[in-house]
Structure 1
Amino acid sequence: MEQNREMKFFALLCQVCYIVALMVCSTPCAMANSKPNIVFILVDDLGHADVGFNGSTFYETPNIDSLARSGLVLENAYMYPTCSPSRTALATGKQSFRTGVYTVPVLEKGDDQENIFSRWTVEEEHIMYSQPLAEAGYKSIHLGKWHLVGPYPQEEMAMTFPLKEKLRQPDPWDFSWVAYHKQHCRKYYPEGRGYLKNVGGTYRGDPALEVDGYHSETGGYFAPFSNPFIESKPDDEWLTDRLTDDSIEFMEQHQDGPFFINLHYYTVHRPVRPRSEALFEKYMEKAGDPITGQGMETGKRKVIEAQYATMIESLDDNVGRILEFLDNSGIRDNTLIVFSSDNGQNIGRNNRLRGKKGHIYEGGIRVPTCLSWPGKITPRRTTIPVTGLDFFPTFMDVAEIDYDGVLDGDSITGLFTAEPEHLQTRPLYWHLASRNAHGTCSVIRKNHHKLIQYLADGKLELYDLRNDPKEEQNLVENNPELTQSMLRALVQWRQTNDVPLPPGAAL
C-alpha cells in the first residue's frame, strides 16, 4: 500500500513538472531567449586589404582572420565611398536618395547646381534596424561612432531642401551643442532608436574632440576622452579598449539574451595615433609587402603607416576579446557576428584596387567583411556581391521579425549555406548626388561588370571587375552593346524610384 502511494505521488509530481515546463517554455521571455544574439562590429575606414584574410602580410590580424575562417568571407562586399551615407544606409536599409544623405556634408565641393547638398540628420520617419529589434525583445547597446545626426538638427530640420549651401559644423573643441543634444535630441540618438545605452556616439565622425582636433596630443584615442557621451572611468587608457570593455560588460548583463551589440569602433579613422611605442617600433622594423604596397613607404609616410598598423593590431586584439568572452560564456554558438568597414581605405594602401575613401572605384567602396555563426554558416569564401543595404533585412531574417517597411537590400541568410541564384544575378546600385572626391554619379554593378555614369556631363565608364579589378580598362567603346544594356537598366532604376538629379546635371 505504502509503495503504491509513493508511485502515485511520483507520477503526480512528474505531471506537475511537465505542466510547469510547458508553461515556462510558452512564455514570451523563453521565446525571446531562443532568438540568436547579434554582434555587429563596424570599423571606420578599414580598407579591403587591411586584414590578413584578404591578403595583408604587413598588418597583423590573427583574431579577425580566425573569425573569417570560422565563417563566410564576402569577397565583394560594398558600402558607399564615405561614412555618412554608408552608416545611414546600414541603419535604415535605404538608398541615399531616400534619406538625402549623400556624403559627409563638410566634405562637399561645388555649388548648388552641381550638388544636391547632403543632409546630415536622419529623420524620424526612417526606421533603423535597432527599433524592430527592440520591439522583438532584443536588449541593444550602441558603442562608438554614430554620425547619424548633425550638430544643429533643429536648424537643419527647419531648412528648405534642396539646400543652397552645404551644412556646417563647429570646431571639434566647441561643446556649445552638447546641452541641446542631451536635452532635446534624444530622438536622433541611439536611446531614441531602440538602444538602451549610447557609449560615445555623437554627431562627430572622429574622436578628436580636444583643442587642435587632429593635431591634439591624444587625438581622442588616449584618455581622458573629451567625448561628452563617454563617462570617465579610472582605468581608461585607449578608446578602442574602452568600447570593448563596455560591450563585454553589457553582454555579461544580458547574456541570457537576446542582445544586439552595435560596436562601431572609431578606429582606424584619423587622427592616427600609435597604440604603444613597442608596437610602433615593431612595424617600423617590419618588412613591407610589395604586392599591396603596405609597409613600403619611406620618411614621414613610413612613420604614419607604422602608427596605423598599431591601430589595426589593437583592433584585432579587441576583436579577440569579444570572441573570447562569447566562447567562455558558452553563447558563441547562438551568436551571429558580423565584421565590416564603412568604406574603403583612407590611411591604408592597396595597390590591387583603384581609388580610396571618397571614390566610387573599388578601393573606395569595397570593404573587408565576414560573418560567423557556428553551425549556421558554412565556412568558405564567396564572390557574390553584397551591399551594406543587405544587413537590415538580414538582421530581421535572423531575428525572425516580419518587417514591412521600405528596404532596398535583400536578406543574405541564404548565403549562410548556399549560393542563391537571385543574389548572384541581382544588380547593385549607387547614387552620389553631391560631389566629394570626384563628380556626382550613378553606378550599377551587375554580374562582374560595373558601369559609372557621371551626372554633370553623362560620361560613361565600364569595367570588367573579374578580369580588371584595378579598373584600368574602360570598355565603353569596346563593348557598346553591354554599355547600353547596363545604362538602360541604370536609367530605368532612377526613373522607377524617382531618383533626384542635381540641377546642373546634363542628363
Structure 2
Amino acid sequence: MRNRHVLLAAMGAVFSLVATGVSFATNAESSGKPNIILVMADDQGWGDTGYNGHPFVKTPELDAMAQDAFVFDRFYAGAPVCSPTRASVMTGRNPNRTKVTNHGRYMRPHEQTIAETLKAAGYITGIFGKVHLGSGQPDSPCNPSGMGFDEWVIGLNFFDNDPYLSRMGKIEHRQGKGSVILMDDTLDFLRKHKDGDRPIFTVVWFPSPHAPHAELPEGPSLYEGKRHAGYYREITLLDQQVGRLRRALRDMGMAENTIVWYCSDNGGLVKETSGGREKKGSIYEGGLRVPGIIEWPARQLKGRTSVPVATFDIYPTLLAMAGVDLYAPHPLDGMDVSGIISGTVAERSKPMGFWHKLQGGQGTRSDQIQKAIMEKQQAGAPLPHDPVRMRKDVDEFPQFPKETTTGHAAWNDWPWKLHRINGSKYELYNLSDDPMEKTDLSQDPEQAQRVKQMKQGLDAWMRSVIHSINGKDYQGLK
C-alpha cells in the first residue's frame, strides 16, 4: 500500500490567484517549489498568545509573525486532543477515518499522507518532535518512514527535559530542554539540505506547552504567582524557538520561498483564554479553536480572516500553493483554502465535521517506552513491546455498525454549529451571535428547518466516517 505514491511522478500543476495580485503559481525554472514547514504547539489555546490579546503571556516572536503574515482568527484543530489532530494534518481527513479516534491510537499505514505526496513530487521530507501517531521502532510500518519521511527524530508522545528520542529507530538519551533539542534537530536538517536540488518539507511538532511544564524559557523567571505559570512559561519557551526558526531561515537565505504554517493541536488548558466554551478535550469551541498563522514572504501573505479554516485543510491547501497535484485516493474532509488566504474567497464552501470519543484513548509513556528500547538496543537484546507497538491498529479492522453515534459530534456550517451528543441529544448555536455557545436554539421553532437539514448533513457525514474507519476506502487500492 505504501508504494502506491511512486506512481505520482508527474506533478507540477500551477495554481494562480491574480485577482488581488497574490499569485501562488510556482515556476520551477525561476523560483522552484517553495519549502514548507509545519509547526505545531501541544495544547496552546487560541487566546494564549499576545497577538490574540492574552493579558500577560509573552509571545513576542509569534506576535511578530502575526504582524508579518496571515492570521486565521477561527482556526480549528481537527479534534480536541493531540493524536487525532495530527492525523488530520497528515491526511486532510477527519482522524476517525484513519483509525486515530483518540490519543495514543496509531494511524493506519494505508493512508496517503502529505509527506508521501510531496516526496513523490521531489521534496526531501523530515519530521521532528512529538508525533504520537505510531511507532519509533525501525521496522514498524507505523513509524515516520512509513508515513513518507526521509529523516526523523521523534518522541512517541509529549516529552520534557532530557528526553529519550528515536532517531530513525535508534533511541538516544538527549540532555537539555526538549523543545530546544527539537529545534536543534530541525535546524540541522534544514542546513543539511538547504543547498540541495530538492525543496524541503519539514514537520516541527513541539512537546510544549503540554504538562508537566518543567521546561523553562531563556531569561528571567516569568509569571511568578500566576495561575498556570508553568504552562505559560512553556508557551514563552516555544515562542522563543519559533523566533529562532524564523531567524535561521533568514540567515540561511531560505525565508523568502518558505511557507511556514503555525498552529496548535487542540484547545488550551485554561478555559478563560480558550477562545470559546470549555477547553482541551471538548467539541465545544474552546476545545477546537487554536492559533493559526501562515507566512510566505515571496507571496507577501498578510492580513487576517474570520472565515473558518481547519487542520484538515492544510494538505489540499499546501499542495495547491506549491503547485503540486493533489493525490487523494480516499475521501477528504478538508478543502483548498488558498482563496481565503489570498482574499479572493470570502466564505467557506464546505461544512466541517468533528467527532470525539468514538473510542477511548490509550496511554503512551514516551520516555519510559523509548528508554526500555534503548537499553535493549545497547545490550543487543530483542526489542520489547512487540508486536503491540509495532503494528497497533494496522491489521485489525473492527467493523463499527453503520448507525454508530457513540461520543460527541458536531457539524459546523458557519455560522451555525449543530452538536450531536451520544446520538440523541442535539444543540444548535449561532457562532457569530453566540461564540461562547450559551444559547441552544435547537428547540426554536424558527430554526426547525435548519435543524432538520443540519441533522441530515451531520448524519450523512458520520455514516461516511464509519464507512472509512471500517476500511472500505482502501478496497481496490494496491
Both proteins in one fold, TM over 0.5 = yes
In structure 2, C-alpha distance between the alignment counterparts of 1:63 and 1:468, rounded to whole Å: 31
Which residue does 1:148 correspond to in 2? 133
SS of 1:184's equivalent? coil
Residues 273 and 403 (structure 1), Cα distance of their counterparts in 2 relative to 1, 3 Å cut: same
Which residue does 2:161 correspond to in 1? 222
**Conservation of the 8 A alpha-carbon contact between 1:425 and 1:447:** no
Which residue does 1:444 correspond to in 2? 411
Q: CA deviation at 1:34?
A: 0.7
In structure 2, C-alpha distance between the alignment counterparts of 1:399 and 1:32, rounded to whole Å: 14
What amino acid sits opposite 1:488 in the alignment?
Answer: Q
Larger radius of gyration: 1
Q: CA deviation at 1:431?
A: 2.5
**Conservation of the 8 A alpha-carbon contact between 1:36 and 1:336:** yes
Please provide the CA RMSD for this pair.
2.7
Which residue does 1:77 correspond to in 2? 75
In structure 1, C-alpha distance between the alignment counterparts of 2:122 and 2:293, rounded to whole Å: 26
Residues 226 and 306 (structure 1), Cα distance of their counterparts in 2 relative to 1, 3 Å cut: same
Which residue does 2:158 correspond to in 1? 206
What amino acid sits opposite 1:139 in the alignment?
Answer: I
In structure 1, C-alpha distance between the alignment counterparts of 2:194 and 2:468, rounded to whole Å: 45
**Conservation of the 8 A alpha-carbon contact between 1:32 and 1:136:** no
Residues 384 and 486 (structure 1), Cα distance of their counterparts in 2 relative to 1, 3 Å cut: same
1:195 matches 2:135: no
Which residue does 1:88 correspond to in 2? 87
**Conservation of the 8 A alpha-carbon contact between 2:274 and 2:287:** no
Which of residues 130, 136, 146 is equivalent to 2:115? 130
Which residue does 1:238 correspond to in 2? 177
In structure 2, C-alpha distance between the alignment counterparts of 1:345 and 1:439, rounded to whole Å: 24
SS of 2:294's equivalent? strand
1:380 matches 2:303: yes
What amino acid sits opposite 1:78 in the alignment?
Answer: Y
SS of 2:100's equivalent? coil
Q: Deviation digits for residues 190-235 of structure 1, max 9, x if unmatched? A: 1232222111232xx221xxxxxxxxxxxxx222x233546356xx
Residues 448 and 400 (structure 1), Cα distance of their counterparts in 2 relative to 1, 3 Å cut: same
Q: CA deviation at 1:377?
A: 4.4
Residues 348 and 61 (structure 1), Cα distance of their counterparts in 2 relative to 1, 3 Å cut: farther
Q: Deviation digits for residues 465-485 of structure 1, max 9, x if unmatched? A: 112111111111223232222
In structure 2, C-alpha distance between the alignment counterparts of 1:200 and 1:284, rounded to whole Å: 32
TM-score normalised by L of structure 1: 0.72
Residues 486 and 377 (structure 1), Cα distance of their counterparts in 2 relative to 1, 3 Å cut: farther
1:429 matches 2:353: yes
Q: Percent identity?
A: 29
Q: CA deviation at 1:489?
A: 2.0
What amino acid sits opposite 2:343 in the alignment?
Answer: A
1:95-494 pair list within 5 angstroms: 95-104=94-103, 120-149=105-134, 182-185=137-140, 187-202=141-156, 205-207=157-159, 221-223=160-162, 225-229=163-167, 231-232=172-173, 236-256=175-195, 257-275=198-216, 279-280=220-221, 282-284=222-224, 295=226, 302=227, 305-346=228-269, 349-350=272-273, 353-405=276-328, 406=330, 407-421=332-346, 423-434=347-358, 440-456=407-423, 458-478=424-444, 479-494=447-462
Which residue does 1:290 correspond to in 2? none
In structure 2, C-alpha distance between the alignment counterparts of 1:83 and 1:467, rounded to whole Å: 29
In structure 2, C-alpha distance between the alignment counterparts of 1:240 and 1:496, rounded to whole Å: 38
Q: Deviation digits for residues 341-364 of structure 1, max 9, x if unmatched? A: 110012574275211111000110
In structure 1, C-alpha distance between the alignment counterparts of 2:215 and 2:87, rounded to whole Å: 30
In structure 1, C-alpha distance between the alignment counterparts of 2:54 and 2:33, rounded to whole Å: 36
Q: CA deviation at 1:252?
A: 1.2
Question: How many residues matched?
Answer: 391
Q: CA deviation at 1:125?
A: 1.1
Residues 142 and 420 (structure 1), Cα distance of their counterparts in 2 relative to 1, 3 Å cut: same
SS of 1:193's equivalent? coil
**Conservation of the 8 A alpha-carbon contact between 2:101 and 2:360:** no
In structure 2, C-alpha distance between the alignment counterparts of 1:452 and 1:102, rounded to whole Å: 18
SS of 1:130's equivalent? helix
Residues 184 and 352 (structure 1), Cα distance of their counterparts in 2 relative to 1, 3 Å cut: closer
Residues 398 and 489 (structure 1), Cα distance of their counterparts in 2 relative to 1, 3 Å cut: same
Residues 247 and 32 (structure 1), Cα distance of their counterparts in 2 relative to 1, 3 Å cut: farther
What amino acid sits opposite 1:226 in the alignment?
Answer: Y
Residues 464 and 332 (structure 1), Cα distance of their counterparts in 2 relative to 1, 3 Å cut: same
Residues 445 and 392 (structure 1), Cα distance of their counterparts in 2 relative to 1, 3 Å cut: same
What amino acid sits opposite 1:392 in the alignment?
Answer: Y
SS of 2:155's equivalent? coil
Residues 324 and 500 (structure 1), Cα distance of their counterparts in 2 relative to 1, 3 Å cut: closer
Residues 446 and 452 (structure 1), Cα distance of their counterparts in 2 relative to 1, 3 Å cut: same
Which protein has the bigger helix share? 1
Q: CA deviation at 1:496?
A: 5.5
In structure 2, C-alpha distance between the alignment counterparts of 1:238 and 1:183, rounded to whole Å: 25
In structure 2, C-alpha distance between the alignment counterparts of 1:412 and 1:446, rounded to whole Å: 15
Q: CA deviation at 1:500?
A: 8.2
Q: CA deviation at 1:501?
A: 11
Residues 411 and 276 (structure 1), Cα distance of their counterparts in 2 relative to 1, 3 Å cut: closer
Residues 238 and 500 (structure 1), Cα distance of their counterparts in 2 relative to 1, 3 Å cut: closer
TM-score normalised by L of structure 2: 0.76
1:41-60 pair list within 5 angstroms: 41-60=39-58
Unpaired runs of at least 5, structure 1: 1-29, 106-119, 151-180, 208-220, 286-294, 296-301, 503-507
In structure 2, C-alpha distance between the alignment counterparts of 1:450 and 1:242, rounded to whole Å: 40
What amino acid sits opposite 1:260 in the alignment?
Answer: F
In structure 1, C-alpha distance between the alignment counterparts of 2:149 and 2:242, rounded to whole Å: 22
Residues 277 and 371 (structure 1), Cα distance of their counterparts in 2 relative to 1, 3 Å cut: closer
What amino acid sits opposite 2:76 in the alignment?
Answer: Y
In structure 1, C-alpha distance between the alignment counterparts of 2:234 and 2:285, rounded to whole Å: 23
Residues 131 and 201 (structure 1), Cα distance of their counterparts in 2 relative to 1, 3 Å cut: farther
Q: CA deviation at 1:373?
A: 0.8
Q: CA deviation at 1:419?
A: 4.3
Residues 360 and 499 (structure 1), Cα distance of their counterparts in 2 relative to 1, 3 Å cut: farther
Q: Deviation digits for residues 278-308 of structure 1, max 9, x if unmatched? A: 643x3116xxxxxxxxx4xxxxxx3xx1222
Q: CA deviation at 1:60?
A: 0.6
Q: CA deviation at 1:76?
A: 1.0
Q: CA deviation at 1:391?
A: 0.7
